[in-house]
Amino acid sequence: MGEHIIQPDSKSTAAGSVSAVNALQSPVEREDRLPEQPVQWLGLMVAAAGVGAAAGLVGTAFRWILLWAYKGRLEILHYLHGHVSPIWGWIIPMVVCSAAGALALWLTQRFAPHTAGSGIPRVESVLRAHLRPAAGLILPIKFIGGVLAIGSGMALGREGPTVQMGGTIGKVVGDTLRKMVPEPWTLIAAGAGAGLSVAFNAPLAAALFVMEELLHRFSTRVFSATLIACISSTLVFRAFFGNVTEFRVIPIGFVSAAMLPEYLLLGIAAGFLGVTFNVGLLQTLKWFDRARTWPRGSKGALAGLAVGLTAWFAPRAVGGGEELARLAIDQQFLWQIALGLILTRLLLTMASYGCGAPGGIFAPLLALGALLGNVFAIGASHIGHGAIAPSPYAIVAMAALFTAVVRSPLTGVVLLLEMTGAWALILPMMAASLTAFIVPELMGNPPIYDSLRRRDEALERSG
């Protein structure tokens, strides 16, 4: 029995070819391309610039208030040490910090539970279409809650709130201009990048972070919009704070190839510290999850007590950690002090983030990295180098620890280059970040934001 072969006509063949081409082009690929119409492209860029400017204004105000709170906290503690009996003076910062932590967490739990923690994992879930964008109420609650939590001294970073607030601004603008910008999620990503840019005065690292961490892929459309938004937000920030890097570092010379093994070893140490950080943070969240029946704000009050007690004995050891990182970069500590600060900062960060207070982990990571580099410099000075400046080791360790925890090495390297201007350290940064990346991967430890994102999605599905 012979086979019957049906020969398609030319029309059906052409239609099939078109269908095949369309089938090969996924929605993501179609969205990645820039708009074909110049007017639509221009509208997207103008909208992104507006989102960036708005995120820049909000982020700058947020940073200014936190700076004011930091200075005020130091002045109050200095006054208490000079005018109040130490027998009971330590009670005052504990009460104040506990009250601020309780109020921050009460606002979060009562009005906008989505503002708890960093906010970056939730933005990532929204961009992946795993969760729906939350309401605009996030903006005021995240702002006020972040000021209360970080301003009172909790070991949290300002970047989490600014990223989530920037993403919220992008959503609001995208919803308003839906006819002009048919993909509003593009502006959510752009706003998130703008928020990170204004947090650290690092526009390029912020744009890379959106691609490397939030999207896990390169999108021409999103990158263009994010870059415009980051430039816009940074211009707003620098109009108020000036054209200076976050850390003013004494010029550093290029590192010789003979010293690269030391930085590889530093990266290994950062890798182990990063695994410790990730495991500890997730375990602390589990512990606090068991206290869901506690009254609103009570977990924040408990964390605030620990922060207030620490602030009484070591005022610069609390808060986001930027000033502590500067000290670790500029001067060599005693190894006992450096190790004690690492342990203290680890515990404070676990308690501050674990309780659910609004705030990020970038700044605490940078402080821990700088302290680790300081300890490494102390060790290097005792094995034949003599007295050496800790700044190269501290800066490289900051990038390496960021990589170990977040698993975004390109962002980590560029972030520290923009924050310090230490371009001569690019090679040791890359080497240390490589080993810091490998260690947790070999140990099977997932990136922290992947773990936090899955946790947020599970909680929302169950709640």
Cα–Cα distance measured from residue 70 to residue 59, given in angstroms and rounded to the nearest whole number:
16
Contacts of 203 (CB under 8 A, 6+ apart): 197, 227, 230, 231, 233, 234, 418
Which token pair is 239? 């109009």
User: 24 and 158 in contact (C-beta within 8 Å)?
Assistant: no
Report the 10 Å Cβ neighbour count for 25: 10
End-to-end CA distance of the chain, in Å? 63
Report DSSP state, residue 355: T
Query: Which of 188, 226, 185 has its CA nearest to residue 208?
Result: 226
- Per-residue pLDDT at 352: 96
H helix intervals, 25-90: 27-32, 38-83, 86-89
- pLDDT for 25: 40
What pLDDT does residue 227 have?
96
Q: Which region, left, alpha or beta, applies to residue 170 given φ > 0 means left and ψ of -120 to 50 means alpha?
A: alpha
Q: 100-113: per-residue pLDDT in tens?
A: 999 999 999 999 88
Dist. CA 196–CA 230, nearest whole Å: 8
Q: What are the DSSP calls for 370-438, one per residue?
A: HHHHHHHHHHHIIIII-S--SHHHHHHHHHHHHHHHH--HHHHHHHHHHHH--GGGHHHHHHHHHHHHH
Question: How many degrees, rounded to 5, is the angle at CA 151 between CA 149 and CA 154?
Answer: 50
| DSSP track, 160-181 | HHHHHHHHHHHHHHHHHTTTT-
**pLDDT tens, position by position, 342-382:** 999 999 999 999 999 999 999 999 999 999 999 999 887 77
Q: State the pLDDT at residue 154.
A: 96
Quick one: DSSP state of residue 157?
Answer: B
Check: pTM over 0.95? Answer yes or no.
no
Joined together, the tokens standing for residue 329 give 């970069």
Question: If you write DSSP's letter for every residue of 229-288 in order, what string do you get?
Answer: HHHHHHHHHHHHH-S--SS-----PPPPGGGHHHHHHHHHHHHHHHHHHHHHHHHHHHHH
Instruction: Collect the ranges in the chain with pLDDT lower than 50.
Output: 1-30
Task: Give the C-alpha separation, 451 to 103, whole Å.
Answer: 27
Q: How confident is the model at residue 7, as a pLDDT? A: 42
